[in-house]
Structure 1
Amino acid sequence: MSMNLRLLRYLVETVDAGSATRAAGRLHVTQPVLSRQLRQLEQDLGLPLFERQGHRLRLTPAGEHFLPLARNLLRQADEVRRAAASIAGGRLDQVHLAVPTTTLSDVLAPFLATLRPDDPVPFVRQLDPRGADVALHSGADLAIVTRPPARPLASLALAVLPVWAQVPAAHPLATRSTVDVGELAGHPLVLLTEDFRPRQLLDEAVAAAQVSYRETIDCTNAQVAQALAAAGRGVAVVSDDPRFGLTPLGLTGPGGPVRIHLYAAWDPRHHAEPTLAGLAGRLAAFCAEQYGSSVVP
């Protein structure tokens, strides 16, 4: 079965116009030509799309069922044309971002609020835990990762951010500015699960200090961990900014402060590589302004 997009447009325009006469005028063809084209479409599809009553056309049940499919196909065809024009011109109308959930609320979302009207429209999804290479091969244009991306990917160091131990004001540690992981392990803790980078960094520091956790609650969301800490269930260990009145303490381990590194990664062969590099540079500058130049590597 052949499919002619022009004939599908004739179908949709005829339905939207409400009559073949008005549709022919909008399409700049004569009514007999339009009628022949619609019959050709029915023949190509093997479907009776219209019931004909004189000069009036009325969709058949088959036509009613087929119409939304035609609309969707035309919409996709328009998107393909726009994408092709963008690629040919080196433009990027929509940028797909793959981001760890731990950096979405405090880093990426505030940065997106600074985008200009001529910037690509952002589409954000969760970073694949297997890293930048998998994310980019799965359709992301720009990935934010917590490990240095391997070549041949292009990359830019964005920031070095602290991993916090966060406690309510009444907690015994609340008057401190830092806490050692050896001491922290002796308190009840609310931790992110092991697929989150802040937890991995804490586990590494605790292992290096040769201590063990006394009591833990695992969470899959940083804000939930903070809420539980505010409710007195334990010390939340996250990289997010404090919420719910919590006091943040810097974590230190045998190797020094426990920190999380952020990198932007993209394919240097991307048709809009200059745009991606520019966005990464602006994100790095935003991180420096937001968190202070001392956290930028």
Structure 2
Amino acid sequence: MNLRLLRYFTETVDAGSATRAAARLHVTQPVLSRQLRQLEQDLGLPLFERQGHRLRLTPAGEQFLPLARNLLRQADEVRRASASIASGRLDQLHLAVPTTTLNDVLAPFLATLHPDDPVPIVRQLDPRGADAALSSGADLAIVPRPPARHLASHALAVLPIWAQVRRDDEWADRTTVDVGELAERTLLLLTADFRPRQLLDEALDGAGLSYREVVECTNARVAQALAAAGRGVAVVSDDPRFDLTPVAVTGPAGPVRISLYAAWDPQHHAATALADLAGRLAAFCAEQYGPEVVPPTGAETSETVGPTASTR
């Protein structure tokens, strides 16, 4: 398919006449007319009804027009992508992110991007983890477990798991609560495929305890809303909402916390730019939440080993 002929076709439609289209394309009208006939011959379709100097799309031309526009749009995207690859830069940044991380961490970070940074395109993290997200087209995946060894990664932050209560709750003036105390309350928990729930389950198992009463939620904001309505204690990693007070959760091994990592393919054409963005995101987390969320020394940038991530 000759893209130049397609551009002549769409420009003629947009211009409304062959004369105006020829002027826009900087060709003579006879040359344009020959090119349009050549396109019709190549396609085996009559695209225009010719009425003197006027051209009107045939029914076949009407059906073909959106296909031509889409093909030209894809060709433009290929040109931009190839130029980006050749230069080692990113024009668009495809991010795979868990919902909580998007709301509380990534979206505020995106607000700090510079005009010359790539345009972010965000999708939900594949439950199978970083490998699946990157294989399906993401440039950068934010995950709550150490990525596999073959991926480049940057430890972003270590964030607390909170027991969130109303301001009139007996725990509202406390800074920490033990999992043994939590187990005696009605808890509003995320389902078991969420990392904060898995971490809380592990802490209770470590203490040899079990839950007294649990209401499971598939969304952290719903758990927070129910806590605000007095239905129980929301245990989530989200920032507090609905005027709730956060109380840090501790277990037998100490504070119950969730780690975040950025992961990318080390062979990515813009791997250097991705590493820079991951570093900036880590610095943003430290600025947003304080130095206590900075990962341990030595974990900042590495190719780490570990299982793939589940959703946060």
TM-score (norm 1): 0.97
What are the within-5 Å matches in structure 2 for residues 158-169 of structure 1? 158-169=156-167
Q: Which residue of 2 aligns with 1:148?
A: 146
Where does 1:22-171 land on structure 2 (aligned, <5 Å)? 22-171=20-169
Post-superposition offset of 1:174: 1.8
For 1:262, the equivalent position in structure 2 comes to 260
Whole-angstrom CA distance in 2 between matches of 1:240 and 1:72: 41
1:73-120 CA distance string (max 9 Å, x none) = 111110110110010111100001111112111111111111001101
CA RMSD of aligned residues (A): 1.0
CA distance in structure 2 between the partners assigned to 1:289 and 1:280 by the alignment: 14
User: How far apart are 1:269 and its partner, in Å?
Assistant: 0.9
DSSP-derived class of the 2:78 partner: helix
Shift of 1:175: 2.4
What amino acid is aligned across from residue 215 of structure 2 in structure 1? I
Q: Percent identity, aligned pairs only?
A: 83
1:174 maps to what in 2?
Answer: 172
More contact order relative to length (CA 8 Å, sep ≥ 6): 2
Q: Which residue of 2 aligns with 1:273?
A: 271
Count of residue correspondences = 295
Structure 1 counterpart SS, 2:114: coil
Report the 3-state secondary structure (helix = DSSP H, G, I; strand = E; otherwise coil) of the residue aligned with 1:143.
strand
Q: Which amino acid aligns with 1:228?
A: L
Structure 1 spans left out of the alignment, 5+ residues: none
User: SS where residue 160 of structure 1 aligns?
Assistant: strand
SS at match of 1:151: coil
- Which residue number corresponds to residue 5 of structure 2? 7
Q: For the residues of structure 2 that align with 1:146 and 1:258, how far apart are their CA atoms?
A: 13
Q: What is the alpha-carbon distance in structure 2 between the residues aligned to residue 121 and residue 224 of structure 1?
A: 30
Deviations 1:180-212 (A, max 9, x none): 111101111111111111111011111111111
Structure 1 letter corresponding to 2:101: T
CA–CA distance in structure 1, aligned partners of residues 100 and 149 of structure 2: 25
Match of 1:21 among 19, 30, 37: 19
**Unaligned runs of at least 5 residues, structure 2:** 296-312
Deviation at 1:134, TM superposition (A): 1.3
SS across alignment from 1:262:
strand
Equivalences for 1:231-242 in 2 at 5 Å? 231-242=229-240
- 1:172, distance to aligned residue in structure 2 (A): 2.2
Report deviation, 1:4: 1.2
Question: Which amino acid in the other structure matches residue 282 of structure 2?
Answer: A
CA distance in 1 between counterparts of 2:115 and 2:218 reads: 34
Give me the whole-angstrom Cα distance separating, in 1, the residues matched to 2:251 and 2:14: 68
Distance in 1 separating the partners of 2:150 and 2:55: 59
Distance 2:112 2:158 in 1: 21
- Supply the AA of the counterpart residue of 1:54: G
Q: CA deviation at 1:62?
A: 1.4
Once residues 104 and 69 of structure 2 are traced to their aligned partners in structure 1, the CA distance between those partners, rounded to angstroms, is 39
Between the aligned partners of 1:161 and 1:205, the Cα distance in structure 2 is 16
Report the Cα offset of residue 173 of structure 1: 2.0
Distance 1:45 1:265 in 2: 46
Q: State the alpha-carbon separation in 1 of the partners of residues 7 and 102 from structure 2.
A: 41
The aligned amino acid for 1:284 is A
